[in-house]
Amino acid sequence: MKITADTNVLVRVAVGDDPRQAKRAAAALKKAEAVVVPIPVLCERVWVLHRGYDLSRAEVATAIRKLTGAATVVVDRPAVDAGLALWEAGGDFADGAIEYAGRAHGAETFTTFDRKAARLLTTQARPVTLLR
């Protein structure tokens, strides 16, 4: 069976803070023929691991790479890479993934009030319009 994994399932497996749920989550993931992980789930996972569990940026990036590198996991790889590129530059994973998704759908520029996101995306040669 192919499944879509919710953030809470992936977090339980990653942190094991509830052994009973972690065991059930791991079994469901292992049993699945394919595990679809939508970008919003990865955005939530980054936030929860970093803010909720105080993992460092490097630890979060490693956790995302480990998950998305699994043979049965299906993700939008370019969006993940864009999110990780911005995350590892000190920005938000979600902003990188959102900017990529916009370009993939034909957007010509990422428009934002977020100065930090604009600066980081500009250094990655991404077209940005900063609203002031």
pLDDT tens digits, 12-70: 999 999 999 999 999 999 999 999 999 999 999 999 999 999 999 999 999 999 999 99
Q: What is the mean pLDDT of residues 124-128?
A: 97
pLDDT digits (tens, 9 = 90+) for 79-119: 999 999 999 999 999 999 999 999 999 999 999 999 999 99
Locate all alpha helices (DSSP H) within 1-126, ordered by sequence.
7-15, 19-31, 39-47, 57-68, 77-88, 93-104, 115-123
**Which string of DSSP letters, residue by residue, matches 87-115?**
HHTTS-HHHHHHHHHHHHTT-S-EEES-H
Distance CA(52)–CA(59), nearest Å, equals: 13
pLDDT digits (tens, 9 = 90+) for 108-124: 999 999 999 999 999 99
pLDDT confidence of residue 78: 97
Model-level pTM greater than 0.75?
A: yes
pLDDT confidence of residue 70: 96
